[in-house]
Amino acid sequence: DQQVKQNSPSLSVQEGRISILNCDYTNSMFDYFLWYKKYPAEGPTFLISISSIKDKNEDGRFTVFLNKSAKHLSLHIVPSQPGDSAVYFCASKIGNQFYFGTGTSLTVIP
Amino acid sequence: GAVVSQHPSWVICKSGTSVKIECRSLDFQATTMFWYRQFPKQSLMLMATSNEGSKATYEQGVEKDKFLINHASLTLSTLTVTSAHPEDSSFYICSATGTLTDTQYFGPGTRLTVL
């Protein structure tokens, strides 16, 4: 049973525009949410996170929004750059257990 | 952020041999380490979770006798692929989390090619 879902396997965005990556989860007990970026043949790199007590966290070009009532998480990248092209994984945490989505491949077109 | 290293980054071995992959947390104490496997164009597949000083917990379908995991210290976990076969060829990634962080930090991955 997939507790964390990324329903869009891929996304293409023009350079300079906003990229919005979405993630849905089913377990209301998750207390921490994370986004990772992954290039081919490399391990995922931590990007940004948010606690369940917040609804927004911003770090430079990256903002994560959490809508607990909808059990929905999103990552906004503004402005998008070609170097942002990668696979993005969302993850949810409860206790010491992490649940990952299947990833969204973002392509930023120059 | 915290740094996790893996060694080797790429290993090629003959079928039937065993291969050991090391995962180290360089600047924090990793109370829990995770081992993942990634096939081409697929998402991460969690293989096992290990807590320092105790036996690893394997995910369903992962052979614990084939994928031996040892987490002997707060900075080192090892994955040994025993009697490797070509179907074990994959990209193996470790990650770690500690008591002072809610974040899981990943290593750079190890590419295993079994001939």
Q: How confident is the model at residue B77 (pLDDT cuts 50, 70, 90)?
A: very high
Q: Say whether A46 and B44 touch across the interface (CB within 8 A).
A: no
The string of pLDDT tens digits covering residues B25-34 is: 998 888 899 9
B107 reaches A (C-beta below 8 A): yes
Q: What φ, ψ does residue B14 adopt, rounded to 5°?
A: -85, 150
Q: Among A39-53, B38-52, B58-72, B86-100, which is the least confidently predicted range? A: B38-52
A85 pLDDT higher than 80? yes
State how far the Cα of B95 lies from the Cα of B100, in Å rounded to an integer.
15
Chain B, nearest residue to A6 by Cα: B43
Q: Say whether A43 and B103 touch across the interface (CB within 8 A).
A: no
Q: How confident is the model at residue B98 (pLDDT cuts 50, 70, 90)?
A: confident
B85 pLDDT higher than 70? yes
State how far the Cα of B91 lies from the Cα of B110, in Å rounded to an integer.
6
Which of A42, A49, A100 minimises the CB distance to B44?
A100
Q: Say whether B1 and A103 touch across the interface (CB within 8 A).
A: no
Dihedral of the CA atoms A88, A93, A99, A101 (nearest 10)?
-30
Contacts of B43 in chain A (CB under 8 A): 89, 100-103
A34 reaches B (C-beta below 8 A): yes
Contacts of B106 in chain A (CB under 8 A): 36, 43-46
**Alpha-carbon B12 to chain mean position:** 16
B8 reaches A (C-beta below 8 A): no
State how far the Cα of A51 lies from the Cα of B63, in Å rounded to an integer.
35
Segment B93-104 mean pLDDT: 87
Q: How far apart are the CA of B23 and the nearest CA of chain A, in angstroms? A: 12
Please write down the long-range contacts of A95-100, taking CB distance under 8 Å and 24 or more positions apart: A96/B32, A96/B49, A96/B97, A97/B49, A98/A34, A98/B34, A98/B97, A98/B104, A99/A3, A99/A4, A99/A25, A99/A27, A99/A30, A100/A4, A100/B43, A100/B44, A100/B46
Q: How confident is the model at residue B55 (pLDDT cuts 50, 70, 90)?
A: confident
Predicted local confidence at residue B14, as pLDDT: 95
The string of pLDDT tens digits covering residues A19-38 is: 999 999 999 999 999 999 99
B65 pLDDT higher than 90? yes
CA A18, A19, A21: angle at the middle one, nearest 5?
145
- Looking at residue B37, its amino acid is R
The string of pLDDT tens digits covering residues A38-79 is: 998 889 999 999 999 999 999 999 999 999 999 999 999 999
Q: How confident is the model at residue B1 (pLDDT cuts 50, 70, 90)?
A: low
3-state class (DSSP) for residue B56: coil
Q: What φ, ψ does residue B108 adopt, rounded to 5°?
A: -80, -10
Predicted local confidence at residue A18, as pLDDT: 98
Q: How far apart are the CA of A68 and the nearest CA of chain B, in angstroms? A: 19
